[in-house]
Structure formats: structure tokens, C-alpha cells
Structure 1
């Protein structure tokens, strides 16, 4: 029979046998954790870790626990953190500090207590947009086997070993240690650093190093990890969107990114992508969770940009999803940022390291958090299977091809997943019409869907192919997989993509209740599933039973899998488990719908929706600024403090505290300007403006009747040589400094004890569509 399929591929099996990697049987083994040429293994099953970067020294200690709880709620399983030497020891005549916000051991223990494991990135050269890459000024010569440098490193590692060594062994939370960063031609030095770290009491089953930029690293001593960003500040002001960023919106077998850190690499940069080592699987430590803002170039990646890159990496074969950053923060003291004044090609803000991350510097969640959360729920449910699947990618990589459908197949020859991406920033991809797929597995051919469909521009999805779930085979579906709710009557939760019809196929003879079916070519087809929260039941002739729950695109955006076997749909900012109870953190009224048996229990969060009155008074007008000098080729410098003070507009913003919950309160400013600062009490925040709303922490001290912020905004004019996103340019029109709006964001936690039926809850039928947003 001839199938009129548009896109066909035959599964390509692994070209080499699976082997244990050279480092897997070395000194630092961990029972239950193993690494092969294809994937990581955990307790006898393949495992895809999801790692999120958070810098303990850039976040106040009293916020650590909440940040970690939010990361876990977002699906993070491993926290990675840089250990910036200069944050601990800025002066040679003083011992390193390990108290307060610098108590790295307390942070690691808190990760453990939250149920998260840890990768410590000890450098000693880390980068992270920190002065000297995190090395104290007096440490020189650096980044080599020079005896004087190694003596200083030995002392520093000794301090870390005394504090972290006891957290490294079997049962400890530290499972990985990264050495150095972006070191391209000193493989022997990385080996030396590993020996020094181990001699200091630091050890882990996974030793890692960044491998981008064709880095010559000692593979076998370290696990090479890769990255991929949607955009970056490291290209010049006048440059467009670089090809290295375009690459990550394709499915490909190219893992090296020669663009990351290129402006620091100098003549060590080849500009040519290196090849992934066959002894190690494809893994990432720096998928861009956002992007820092430099003065000369200010990217503002959308949540869809970040989630599309993450999905493309999964479809390309990634077995480790690592995000940089996943939670933002702020530098602990002035002068610790990289800057033109300290010899860097980039000026970074003095304080701000929000990074547009999924969790912002003040623990506010963004669209990327919610879009990635669905991917992480999928990995928690199906990652053990996906990790063993080879990636078959049709065609060759052409980063400028915007007409060919971007898709891939990951399969083990028996079952698999089709990945599709039609999203790309700056240069949008077209919709694709009349799409069908023809997938040839080892013993099965799957052609789907049963009739051609259109895939809109901006879509990024993963669809199952011949997938077995609790004894039921899903031949194919144009529905994403969110999770499986385990239990006596398991539920497969599927999600619709906006604008894509939801079809699903089961083998002939399968009985279905809850939705009409028709049989065709040996399939039972469920057509145009509405995503109306209807529970369907399927039963095979052999007696296997599975329930299906289809969520529409809106419900999928608000879906949570909190880890207690339940499904929650809520527009609250965060849904998580807290001391055995379900909790929701919300900034206004919301509903919390909890699947309980065959129905949803609806709970209402009756938080006030009345806006908090904010008084904004301009106390000084801006004056025309001088032309910003180009001090680094292609890159202007930020205004110095004197110039800023002479030309900035000034505002006093007053917020009453009456009625605020006070757990965490932010002032959100929509403004226009070039550079801004805000002082609240003895704390200063700053901003290089890129069009995004600016959140300032104004959590009131106990007993305060009002909170006051002093805000200064340096003017932006047409001569300012900076690259801004289009959204910022639209706001800028005719303005040099202005506060367009000022609102208060008040976070409050609400708890829902686990009992059935909870007081105050109402029952919602599965097919009702009356959710109030």
C-alpha cells in the first residue's frame, strides 16, 4: 500500500555498542549511579537529569529554601552552582569567608534536605560574568600549571574540601564537580586540577568540563558537556542574530557551539564546531535559561525561545538537560561584575544578575518556567525510555533554511517519539500544511496522522510513536505527553498544542469509552479530541486498562504534577508540596483544581485583586546625556557614576504596606531609559533597560507603614550605541526617560491539606469548561 506521507524516515540504530565510559570505573564511584556512552543510569534504569543553575552567593540566604522549592516544583532534579573564589576571598590578607550568604556547605545541605542533588562548579576560573572569572585579583599567573598558581589553588581547594568533603561521599548530595570553564587548550591543567581537588577531599562520580569552542579537554578524566543559547550579549552591537544561535532551533548532531564565550577566547577560538566524543552521550550544562544583559547588547529571550531550544536538544539526542541560569540573583557586593574597567569586552550591571531566568532574581516565575515544567514532567515519566533512544534526523543542517520542516525521531527501534519545531525568534518559521509522517521502526511502520494536518508557526511538540503505556500501545498521537498518574487505575495525561488537531490511534480491537472512534487500516482512531478534561477509558483484548486525560493548550500551560501522584490545574504562580500538603503561591485570585478520582476538586484562592496605590513623584528631570564612547571595538561603555548622577531623572516611589501579605513583595516598573538604579533602605538594585518590566524587592520590614524606593533613570536617546529588542524600541519612541506604570506584586502562600473532599472545595465535572481565569 502506498501512503501519501509528507515526511518519511527510517529509524537508524546506534552505530556502536553501548560501553561504560572511561571515567565510570575510576576512583569516585557511586553505588547506583553509572555513565555509559549512551546515557546515565540510576538504580538500574536510564536517567535524564534536569539541572538548574542557581548561585548561592548571588541570593540572600533567607531566600535559598524558597528558591530550591520553586526549582523542584519546576521539575529540576539537580542544582548546579558556581563557587566563586572572589566572592569568598576578595583580599589576600584575609581568610575566605564561609558564613551567611557564602555558607556553601549549608546551601548544599539545604539542597539535600529539599530532595535535590548538586553539581558544584569549582573552577577555580568560573566566568559567570564575574570579575577575573571569579579569581581574586592577586591570583596570578592563572589557568596553567604554574607552581605559584597551583599553590594558591591548592589552598583554596583545601578550604572547599574541609567544608564540602563530607557531602561528597556515597549518600551525599554532591554527584558532580565541574573543573574550570571554557578552557580550550590546557587539557593537562584540567587533569592537575582534578588531582588537587581529590587530594583536598573533593570527589564525585561525575567530573565535568565545558566542551564548546572545540575545547581540547581530557575526555575520560572529565565528562564533556555542551550548551546552547537563544541569543547572547557576547556579539557586537551592530551584529545581527548570529548563526551559532540559529543552530539551536534545529535538530542536529552538532553539539559544539563555537560562539559561546568567543569574545573571551581570542585567538584560541577556531569558530569551527568540534565533534562529540563517541565514549560519552550528548549532554548539556548550559542551555540558555535566559540571557544576561550587557550594556552594548540587551537580549530579552521569550519563554517560547527557551523552551523551543530545550525541546530541540531533546529531539537531537540530549540525555542531560542543564540550564544556565535557571534562577537569577544579584552580585553580593559592588565591583564584582565583569566590566570594561577590569579588562573585559563587556560591561555588565554592578548588581543585577537576573538573567531573564525562569525564576527571576526575586523568585518571580516567568513563561519559560511554565513551558519547561511540562517538558520536565514528560522526562520524569518517560525519560528512562527516551535516554536509550538514538536520534534520527532527516536532512543536513542548514541554519538558514526556514522552509523545510524541522523534525526528528528518537527511537530504540520498537517505540519512539517524533519531535517537531516551527518556532524561531527574529526570523519566524512558516506554518506547514498537509503534514503526515511515515516512520519505519525495526518491525513496525507507523504512518500518521490518519489525515494530513497543519502545524502552525511557533509550534514545538513531542509526539509518541508505537508507545506502550501500562500494557496499552498508543500507535501514534498528535498530542504531547505530560505524565502518567500511577495507581490502581493509571491515567495517561496528554496535551494539545494550540492550533493542532488532537488525534490518537490505538490497535484494532481496543475498546474505548468516552469518545467516538472509527476503525481504519487496523487502527482504532480517536479524532479531534477536544481537550475538555474528559476521562476516557481504553481496554485491550488482553485486559490491559488505561485511562486518558486530554488537556487543551490553556490547561496544559497551568498543569502541575507536584510529585504526590496528583494532577493540579491552577493559574497560581507556583504549585508545590510543602510538609506533605499541597500549597499554592499566588499574587491574586486563582482557582486550584485537583484531580481526585474521576473529578476535579476546585479550591478558590480569594486573594485581593484590588491594585495597591503607588505614589510616583518625579523629583528631578533628566538632562541630555553625552554621546557614549566606544571604548571596546564595537561596544560602548556604561555611564560612570558621575555621569549617571549628572543626567539621570529621579523619582520617589512610595507604597503603603496596609493589606499586603508581606511574604515577598515586588514593585514592578514598566519604564523607558538607558540605565536605572533603585535604592530601598540600604540595598541597591540596577538595570540595563531592555524593555522588560523591572521588578524591585520592596518586601516591607516588620511594622513598617510604607516602603519607599528612590529610583534614578539615565536617559536613552537615538545616539546611544546599544542593541535593543524590538519591543523596547517601540516603547522608546519619543521618550528618553519615563515610568510608564508602577504596580505592586504581593505573593501569598495558600495550603490545601490532603483529604477528600476538602472543606471549601467544589466538585467540577470532567467536561465542564467554566474555569474563571
Structure 2
């Protein structure tokens, strides 16, 4: 934006999750209206006892409504990435991928049993080098949020607490024996991160204390969280933000920590083997920030502290599911819409920190042959793969950019550009609300507004449930100066739509009254500013401006407004001239183009890149990568467009042999803490089928390559000799394994074992996976095996 006080301007912004609102129908209904207008709670400051917020790099703080950066509202995007679950030699490029996706804060658990592999021996080297990881975040311009537990969950054995401490103390309490060990761990961690706190000019801005804590009783409850915070401050953890998780009836000392929230599109930890009822994350939230079951290992029936703390704390998120894990008894598969619709809805509910768990998948380390995953037989509630922790995340276990990434990026870019406008806006509820999460008939919508600016959010997508189309829809939004009815002609909200529209958006001095498109970002070139929006429907975008505005496109005058229906086009700019002569240009992208949209800084200038390739922004060059296709195409603004063909071998099939036939898999045992299907004992794998193949030595000619396995069975395990490289529970997807981390193992025989999946196994699989299973008592088969190269292209600015 120009050098003006943006918050003093008449502003509004809108997010969209690429819905498909249809052209106007032939009939209309009465406009949907808001209920009684809310102004939000009064502003409060100084009541939250946080740490030092001043830094050579500015200030970070908060009030009861928003986070603050340099005293102004701030709405960042935070993504979880566990450094101990990814090879250290690739950390830098993975962080660049996160930044390119619009992440501004990296969060990470520091899982205690990942770094203390033997009693009293804490190791911060190699893949455990937390200091180097945080320094790399800083080098990429990313902030860091520390989550050191001491109990973290994270689908880790004992929630990350080492076995010997579980055995020798009363964990998650003020037991002196336990606190002594926690202090030892936290002091060792502090020795690694000292000098990297925000107050020192470093990137560490926050610390989450404990996780999913709802225990009460002697030495527990609020007193335990207070003790941990006091210990952290005594050691030297001085950060602008101290948080706790706010779900599952959490307990914490009011004012000492701020609750963070979350929600997932499915519950892999559920004991149910059928489709779940509609998740509440697809509802707009008006009276509570706390989602239902988020998988806490402990249970409580009392009212949690976060429910009564809404007027005193901002609505912050830390665990909105960027995906979900696949667990033994429940193996849901997510569509990108399932994630994007849910988080868009939560932003429309007032979320002022969009935090994901996970944003980047990984792999569990092994500890001297011991496994560190959560299992029911070790007292956990879930059975997880030994190694695989892909999480269906926007960036996967091997660094692959997954389709959900593209569905989320436009929202992230918008928050990066306009989040300071959105953050202070109050949430307005419609006059008619759905009766509950199971009500699929009532249209779900909300407004966030302040003064004469706002965003209108709509969600008509619910995972696994068909919502009806809503025909003849208009909305009436009450602003300070009076009501606005939009769009000018009724539209149909189609099944599966989710989007939001801006109202009263200041475009460098030219007022956009409303639009049926999502603002994404702002660019500049030699001719001035360019505002980028994405159409929320096929066909033309409705753009509405005050009377007297001139457009370089056909328009009509309707009373106080100039209205244009402009087809989106990625190669055409629309010029808009305000009544006072100010000019601005608009780039309207269609939905197909939006799926290939990247925004980042290159050679000191904000750039928009349209390419189907995965993109990373360097100081002076773009790096494009794509699997299986050597033909690159790209369009850069400001900049050039082009095509190129990368050199390298094509995808190829890999021959394999069945080296061992499957035996009869034993029946599945029902039991454990969940009283549900339990992962078979290790001895069951003697019945696994085995397949042998040799990955070629030259597989990495293009830089990386992926082994793709189409298989059927229960549990797959990949071995080089006796070393397990990866494992997975079958869920219907192609199993994709990145090879560059295994470069020294190529050219020698590997073995894939597949434990048979019994037809009577009481687990949940999505219908699409069930449809792939043969009609047989059991199945353990490898259908195809191939190598898919990843090609790379570098483009200098």
C-alpha cells in the first residue's frame, strides 16, 4: 500500500477458498440478513502477563483482541514442522517451501525423547540441532514458536517424555522428581537457544507450555501450568507470548498464559469405524472458540478455562489441521477442500492467528533400535506407524508439495497483505443460524466488519456430506453508514462452495465497494500498484465502485454505483480511475490460474508467479520443481513468462519379485485404552508377503526421485537389509517415498513386506479405498512399482 495510515483508510478485505458460486438465477429470494450488530468486547491492555516484547527488530505483543506488531494489529500464519523428524541437510530448502506457501511463523515441538536417547544424555547434534534449525528460520525471515512440552503428544511415545522419567516420577504434575527432570531438560534446551529470543534480535517469539492439559488434583491443574511458567522464566525463557492449548477442558492460570485453539476435518483417534457426523469446524463460531474432541490423551468433564476467557484473550489458533494422520484403526483421506473450507470458516469466525498442525510432514527417528511412536500397548490412545508421519500435510514427509498446499496459499497471501485490516474486525452472525453442526440445509455465513469495511464469508462445504445449492442469494450487510445488499443480482451458492468477498476495500485510494472475488496480494511495477483478486465462480467477476469511477471495461451505472462484470484473465490488467483521478490496476485470476499461484519476494520485489511447478523464492532466483513432467511453464509479474524442458530420464517401472508368499494374518485384537482394533503384534509380520527389488543407482540424476508403490494390504514396511526405511498403513493412496535421503543405499536389494489385510478387520477406510479392495478373505499384494524423477529449473530474476 502507499505510505498512508492503512488502518485510517476506509478498508475491507476478503478471503476466498475458490468456491464456485454460479451465475444469477432467474428468480430471487429476500436477501439474507445479519442479526443484531455486535461491536465486540471493549479493548483491554496490560492484563496479560507476557514476557519482553521489545527487540532491535521492533515490538510484538497482544491485547484482548489481536496480536500486535510494532503496535499495529497483526494476523500471521503459523505452521508446524518438527525438525527432529526431517534430515537436517534439507532443512533450509524445506523452510523456503514453507515461506513460499505463505507461512510466517514456524512452530515445532521439541520432543524430549527425540533428543534424550539414553538417561541423562541429551544430544543436540545432527537432526536434533535445534539452534541451527532456528537460525535457518531466521535466515529465511521466518519467526519461531517454541513448543518444548514437556509433554507434547505429537503421536510420540509417552507424549515425548522419556521412558525412564515416566517410570521414575509422576509426570505432568508438581512431583519434585518430575520437575527436577523437566528443569534439567529445559536448561539444556535453553543453552541451545539462548541469544535467539525476540528480545535479543532473534526469531523466537513464543513458548507453549505443556499441551492438551486438563488434569486436576493435587499438584496438577492450574498450579502445574503456573509452576512450569515460573520455571521457564527462571531459566531464562523470556518471550512476548506464553500460550497453552485451549481445547478438551484445558486448565490454566488466567492472565499468565493465552489459550490457542484448533480443529481437524476428521478424528483419526476416534474408535468409530464408520463415517463421522459432520465436524463442527465447518460451522462459523459465534459463542465459543473451543472445538470438540481434538485428541487429548486425558479426559475431563468440567468446563475448561478457555471457554470463560474469550473477552480477555484474542482468538489464536495453533492446531488447525493442515491434514490428519493415518492411524491403525482409522484411516481417513482428505480432499484439499476439506482443509481449506474449514480454515476459511475459522478465519471468518474471528481467528487472529492461523496456526496449522502439521504444515510439514516427517518421519519418526529411531533410538538405538527402539521405536518412538505412540501405541496403545505403550499406554497411548492410538496406534501410529513406526516411522511414517506424513500427516497428509501441505508439505509431505519427503518434502513433496501436496495439492492442499495450493488450496491454502491464496488465503495465506491475503493474510500477509491485508491481515492488519482484518484482525480488529468484529464477527457478525446472521439472523438465521444452523441449528447445529448436523444442519446442512441452512446456509453458513458470517461477516467480519469494522466501520464501513468488512468481509462476507460463506461456507457450503462439509467433508463427506452433500450440502444443498442455495438459489437466488443476496446478502444484506449492516455497516456504520447503513446497509449494503450484495451482489447486485442474486446468485446461486453451489454445493461445496466456500469463499469470501470484500466490502469497502481501499485500493490505493480507489474504493472497491464490493466484489465477487478474493483479494490476494498487491504488487507494484514501474506504472504503479496492481491489486490481485481471484474469481470465486466461473464466468465474470462483479466489481462495484462508487459513482464517478471509470473503468477500462464496459460498466453500467446503478444509482450510487458503477458496476462491471469482468471476465478473469491472467494476462490482462483492468485500469480503474477514481473520481479524484487516482488510478489503480486490477489483475483478476480465474480459479484454474489460482491453483498455480505463488507469491514471494525476488530481488527485493514482490512477485506473482503462475506455474504448476513447486516454487521456492531465493535472493535472486526462482527454483521450480515438479515430479514426472520435464516441461516447465511459468508467468511472472512483474517479470517475464517462459517455457523450458529439463533434461533427465523419464519415469520408469521397476521390476520386482515376490520373494515370500503371505501367510494367514491373525485376527485383530480389540482392546487397549480405546477399546478398539489394535495394531497387530510384531510377531504377526511373519505372515507378511515380501517383494524384492533394486532401486537403480542412477535414480537421482535429476536431483531427487520418488519411489511410487501401488499396493494392497494392512501394513507395509520397506527395508534395506534389516534397516527399516519407512512404513505405512494402507489407506488407498499411492505410497510415495523420496529417494535422495537414501542415496547411499541405492543399487542394492530392498525388500517390501506387506502384512495381509483381513476382510474382517474392524477399521475405518474411506469409501474410495474400500472400493479398491478385492473380494477375498485377505489381501497382500504389490501391483506396480516405479521411479518418478523430480525435475528442476532455476530462473534468475
Same fold by TM-score, threshold 0.5 exceeded?
Answer: yes
Aligned to 1:254: 288
Does the 8 Å contact 1:668/1:744 carry over to 2? yes
User: Residue 278 of structure 1: which of 302, 311, 314 is its match?
Assistant: 311
SS, match of residue 32 in structure 1: strand
* 1:68-467 matched pairs, under 5 angstroms: 68-92=95-119, 94-139=120-165, 140-168=169-197, 169-184=199-214, 185=216, 186-238=221-273, 240-242=275-277, 245-262=279-296, 264-267=297-300, 274-333=307-366, 334-394=370-430, 395-396=432-433, 398-467=436-505
Which shifted more, 324-333 or 615-624? 615-624
**How many angstroms does 1:65 deviate by?**
1.2
**How many angstroms does 1:512 deviate by?**
0.7
Alignment partners' CA distance in 1, 2:570 and 2:195: 51
Q: Does 1:508 align with 2:547?
A: yes
Does the 8 Å contact 1:237/1:721 carry over to 2? no
Q: Does 1:490 align with 2:525?
A: no
Alignment partners' CA distance in 1, 2:88 and 2:81: 12
**How many angstroms does 1:611 deviate by?**
2.3
CA 1:144–1:533 in structure 2 vs 1: closer, same or farther (change >3 Å)?
A: same
Does the 8 Å contact 1:495/1:531 carry over to 2? no
Runs of 4+ in 1 over 6 A off after TM superposition: 269-273, 700-705
SS, match of residue 260 in structure 1: coil
CA 1:340–1:4 in structure 2 vs 1: closer, same or farther (change >3 Å)?
A: closer
**How many angstroms does 1:528 deviate by?**
4.9
Aligned to 2:782: 739
CA 1:546–1:216 in structure 2 vs 1: closer, same or farther (change >3 Å)?
A: same
User: Residue 565 of structure 1: which of 599, 602, 606 is its match?
Assistant: 606
Render the CA deviation track for 1:414-461: whole Å, top value 9, x for unaligned: 211111111111212122211111111001432111111112211111
Alignment partners' CA distance in 2, 1:254 and 1:104: 36
Alignment partners' CA distance in 2, 1:500 and 1:463: 16
Q: Does 1:750 align with 2:784?
A: no
Alignment partners' CA distance in 1, 2:763 and 2:264: 20
* 1:485-634 matched pairs, under 5 angstroms: 485-487=523-525, 488-499=527-538, 501-513=540-552, 515-531=553-569, 533-563=571-601, 564-572=605-613, 574-587=614-627, 588-596=629-637, 601-607=641-647, 610-632=650-672, 633-634=674-675
Alignment partners' CA distance in 2, 1:178 and 1:22: 19
Alignment partners' CA distance in 2, 1:338 and 1:702: 29
Q: Flag structure 2 segments of 5+ consecutive residues without an equivalent.
A: 1-27
Render the CA deviation track for 1:660-708: whole Å, top value 9, x for unaligned: 4352221121221111101246452000111122112323866987464
Render the CA deviation track for 1:75-116: whole Å, top value 9, x for unaligned: 000000001111111332x42111111111111111111111
CA 1:699–1:230 in structure 2 vs 1: closer, same or farther (change >3 Å)?
A: same
CA 1:331–1:467 in structure 2 vs 1: closer, same or farther (change >3 Å)?
A: same
Does the 8 Å contact 2:282/2:459 carry over to 1? no
CA 1:596–1:699 in structure 2 vs 1: closer, same or farther (change >3 Å)?
A: closer
Does the 8 Å contact 1:24/1:36 carry over to 2? no
Which shifted more, 576-585 or 384-393? 576-585
CA 1:81–1:614 in structure 2 vs 1: closer, same or farther (change >3 Å)?
A: same
**How many angstroms does 1:347 deviate by?**
1.2
Which shifted more, 110-119 or 391-400? 391-400
How many residues are matched?
Answer: 745
CA 1:705–1:165 in structure 2 vs 1: closer, same or farther (change >3 Å)?
A: closer
**How many angstroms does 1:498 deviate by?**
4.5
Does the 8 Å contact 1:453/1:500 carry over to 2? no
Does the 8 Å contact 1:375/1:482 carry over to 2? yes
User: Residue 688 of structure 1: which of 729, 732, 738 is its match?
Assistant: 729
Does the 8 Å contact 1:258/1:270 carry over to 2? no
TM-score, scaled relative to structure 1: 0.92
Which shifted more, 656-665 or 534-543? 656-665
Render the CA deviation track for 1:540-569: whole Å, top value 9, x for unaligned: 120111111111110011011122322111
CA 1:680–1:364 in structure 2 vs 1: closer, same or farther (change >3 Å)?
A: farther
SS, match of residue 550 in structure 1: strand
SS, match of residue 315 in structure 2: coil
Alignment partners' CA distance in 1, 2:736 and 2:377: 27
**How many angstroms does 1:471 deviate by?**
0.7
Alignment partners' CA distance in 1, 2:746 and 2:223: 60
User: Residue 43 of structure 1: which of 46, 60, 70 is its match?
Assistant: 70
Alignment partners' CA distance in 1, 2:741 and 2:249: 49
Alignment partners' CA distance in 2, 1:590 and 1:391: 46
Render the CA deviation track for 1:270-307: whole Å, top value 9, x for unaligned: 69993442111111100011111211111222211111
CA 1:26–1:650 in structure 2 vs 1: closer, same or farther (change >3 Å)?
A: closer
**How many angstroms does 1:190 deviate by?**
0.9
CA 1:579–1:247 in structure 2 vs 1: closer, same or farther (change >3 Å)?
A: closer
SS, match of residue 464 in structure 1: strand
SS, match of residue 528 in structure 2: coil
Render the CA deviation track for 1:607-639: whole Å, top value 9, x for unaligned: 558322321322222222121111225411112
Aligned to 1:476: 514
Aligned to 1:17: 42
RMSD (CA atoms): 2.3
SS, match of residue 592 in structure 2: helix
Aligned to 1:720: 761
Does the 8 Å contact 1:465/1:475 carry over to 2? yes
Q: Flag structure 1 segments of 5+ consecutive residues without an equivalent.
A: 755-773
Does the 8 Å contact 1:698/1:707 carry over to 2? no
CA 1:450–1:648 in structure 2 vs 1: closer, same or farther (change >3 Å)?
A: same
Greater RCO structure (CA 8 Å; 6+ sep): 2
**How many angstroms does 1:5 deviate by?**
4.4
